[in-house]
Amino acid sequence: MPLLISLLVVTVMILAIVDIILRDQSQVKHLPKPVWLILVILMPLLGSILWFALGREWPERQAAPRTPQFAPWASAPPAPPTMRREHRSTEQQLADLEREIEEERLRAELARRRNEQTDG
């Protein structure tokens, strides 16, 4: 039994050391990386526990969508499409609409004149 506990402590210490070495300095909290390494080497069990509890920055977890228990094969329903909201005032929308109407009127006038030129 003592051998198993010792093996567990050494394994956790090695995992902590590897994690400290591979982790970017921006993801290390409270102490610099060399201090964490010394702490884990000098106090393997306590240092490793402190490293995993306080020293490293854990990625934020997002909750996975849950499916009903009675139908685990069923997928979640698709999210309804979101409507794009206009951030323009009513006056701006009306001005744009009037501009579009004027453009369409000018296009029709141009098409009519082109037809007159080709016909006559």
Print the SS3 string covering the chain. Answer: CHHHHHHHHHHHHHHHHHHHHHCCHHHECCCCHHHHHHHHHHCHHHHHHHHHHHHECCCCCCCCCCCCCCCCCCCCCCCCCCCCCCCCCHHHHHHHHHHHHHHHHHHHHHHHHHHHHHHC
- Residue 77 located in a structural domain: no
pLDDT computed for residue 93 by the predictor: 87
- Residue 72 located in a structural domain: no
- Residue 73 located in a structural domain: no
Quote the pTM value. 0.49
pLDDT computed for residue 17 by the predictor: 93
* pLDDT mean values, one per 10 residues, the chain (120 residues): 90 93 87 92 92 83 63 62 74 91 95 86
- Residue 79 located in a structural domain: no
pLDDT computed for residue 43 by the predictor: 93
Domains: count for the chain: 2
Q: Which domain holds residue 17?
A: 2-55
